[in-house]
Amino acid sequence: MNEELLNLLCQHDDIKGRFIYSPLISDWSDPISQMSFIQDLQKALHNGDFLDLYAHIPFCKELCTFCGCNVKITSQKEVANHFVQNLIQEWKGYSPLLPQNQIRSLTLGGGTPTFLEPETLNLLIQEIDPSQKLWKQIEIDPRSTTQEHFKILKSHKFNRINVGIQDMNNDVMTNVNRYQSPERIAEIFNWAKEYEIPEVFVDLIFGLPGQTQESLSASTKQLLEFSPDFINLYPLVHVPWLSDTQKAYGHFETPKTREKWQLYLTARSLLLEKGYESLGYGHFIHPKAKSYQAIKKGVVSRQLMGILPFKPAPYLGLGPGSLSWSGHMMKQNEKVTEKYLHLVQNGLSTHSKSHLQSNLEVERTQAFQNLFAKQKLQLNSKWITDEKISELGIELMKVIANEISAEQKET
Ligand code: SF4
């Protein structure tokens, strides 16, 4: 195990790994109106920027105890059907104000987008992308995704699915209230092939209660048999004081810092051995991935929607709790699903929190988005100078640069 890298990762354990905008919502202090946001977005698009769309489907049938997402637990499908009508309504409020030919992608996330009945999913996609021009991806929960869902994805020419696997070990997953059989996961990969989904990304979590070096190694090897294109290996973010979900389930034993990063390095070694390349801090791409060439050329952005094979651009979030960024302004929709629905139904603004970014915050946000585009640069090169890292407060960049240079030495 690479002790130098292990020490560095442990030292930076408090870094918010998925930090992709600045400042954090808890530090937003300079509110702007919904109209100012739209005008700023229109200006950005008028000046040639593109726009990425995100639609949040908050529903899940059961609660995974590690979850940090904005979710609504229900088994009533009719609630979701009603919700989608309102999501479409929200989109129709923006759509006439935006140049359609500059909208380039749609991400469906959650919650669980495949909680929706296939015909409801079909309706939603049809309304947002009627001419099937957008690059599209969707988060898939293996437990709720059916063959009918895959038929819809194929008919709308989806480019990527992101499969939430987290761990292949039954005991580990049952312990966090998320049992999913290996047979079900195999079925998802088979359908992805049968319905010609160009890219399959998967999410794994390390640091889950009950995970051991042995169990995570076995789980990673089992997953690699399906040969996914990209693996997101995320640390468990255990913050019961921030997450009602984690609080509700009380404290569960999770590995200590060093043990947690040892788990990461164990899985990382297996991925590198199998030909995956590290983009740094838990992102691993296989050269067979459709996005590989674009990403290697630096055409990549690390957004709320994950890793997109495009240059960074503003984004617009639909649905409860969704974030939007115009290039200088950030806003968040009302988080509580019932309140969000009330606002849409009454033709009111869904905007709940907002912030006008300072120049430094804009620069920091752009640096986060560009993180992987510049990842081949060496430490202390023109872009990743120690001074720049200190000025922007992006220690994550140093960790990534060190991880990349460690990989270059190892291979
Ligand atoms: S981890 Fe995913 S499936 Fe589980 S509760 Fe959270 S959003 Fe739902």
Cα 53 to chain centroid distance, Å, stands at 13
What pLDDT, on the 0 to 100 scale, is given for residue 18?
Answer: 55
- Relative to the CA of 110, which ligand 1 atom is closest? 7
pLDDT by residue (tens digit) across 103-148?
999 999 999 999 999 999 999 999 999 999 999 999 999 999 999 9
217, containing H or E segment = helix 213-224
The binding-site residues of ligand 1, defined as CB within 6 angstroms of any ligand atom, are 60, 63-64, 67, 69, 71, 110-112, 141, 164
- Relative to the CA of 178, which ligand 1 atom is closest? 4
Kindly report the protein residue whose alpha carbon is nearest to atom 1 of ligand 1.
67
**Residue 67 above 60 pLDDT?**
yes
- Relative to the CA of 141, which ligand 1 atom is closest? 3
As a whole number of angstroms, the distance between CA 157 and CA 176 comes to 34
Q: Which residues pair with 284 in a beta bridge?
A: 231, 278
- Relative to the CA of 66, which ligand 1 atom is closest? 1
Kindly report the protein residue whose alpha carbon is nearest to atom 6 of ligand 1.
67
74 confidence band (pLDDT: 50, 70, 90): very high
297 confidence band (pLDDT: 50, 70, 90): confident
Homologous superfamily, domain 31-362:
tm_1862 like domain (3.80.30.20)
| 86 vs 407, residue with greater confidence | 86
pLDDT > 90: percent of the chain:
63
Gap from CA of 346 to ligand 1 centroid (Å): 29
Give the angle 406-407-408 at the CA atoms, nearest 5°. 90
With contact defined as beta carbons under 8 Å apart, do 161 and 197 qualify?
Answer: yes
Burial environment of residue 244 by CB neighbours within 10 A (0 to 12, 13 to 18, 19 or more): exposed
Kindly report the protein residue whose alpha carbon is nearest to atom 7 of ligand 1.
111
What pLDDT, on the 0 to 100 scale, is given for residue 409?
Answer: 63
Each domain of the chain, given as residue ranges in start order, spans 31-362
Which of 70, 65, 67, 71 lies closest to 252 in space, CA to CA? 65
Gap from CA of 109 to ligand 1 centroid (Å): 10
Can you tell me which residue has the tokens 């047979």? 183
Which among 64, 139, 172, 246 is the best mutation to test ligand 1's pocket, defined by most ligand atoms within 8 Å of the CB?
64
- Relative to the CA of 245, which ligand 1 atom is closest? 5
205 confidence band (pLDDT: 50, 70, 90): very high
Gap from CA of 66 to ligand 1 centroid (Å): 8
Which of 142, 117, 153 lies closest to 64 in space, CA to CA? 142
**Residue 9 above 90 pLDDT?**
no
Its ipTM equals 0.99
As a whole number of angstroms, the distance between CA 326 and CA 356 comes to 10
Gap from CA of 111 to ligand 1 centroid (Å): 6
Which among 114, 141, 236 is the best mutation to test ligand 1's pocket, defined by most ligand atoms within 8 Å of the CB?
141
Gap from CA of 144 to ligand 1 centroid (Å): 11
Kindly report the protein residue whose alpha carbon is nearest to atom 4 of ligand 1.
64
Which among 18, 56, 71, 166 is the best mutation to test ligand 1's pocket, defined by most ligand atoms within 8 Å of the CB?
71
Which among 72, 112, 144 is the best mutation to test ligand 1's pocket, defined by most ligand atoms within 8 Å of the CB?
112
Which of 284, 364, 287 lies closest to 20 in space, CA to CA? 364
What 3-state DSSP class applies to 64?
coil
From 75-79, 162-166, 382-386, the region with the lowest mean pLDDT: 382-386
Write b or e for each residue in 6-22: b if 16 or more Cβ atoms lie within 10 A of its Cβ, otherwise e: eebbeebeebeebebbb
- Relative to the CA of 111, which ligand 1 atom is closest? 7
Kindly report the protein residue whose alpha carbon is nearest to atom 2 of ligand 1.
111
As a whole number of angstroms, the distance between CA 169 and CA 221 comes to 11
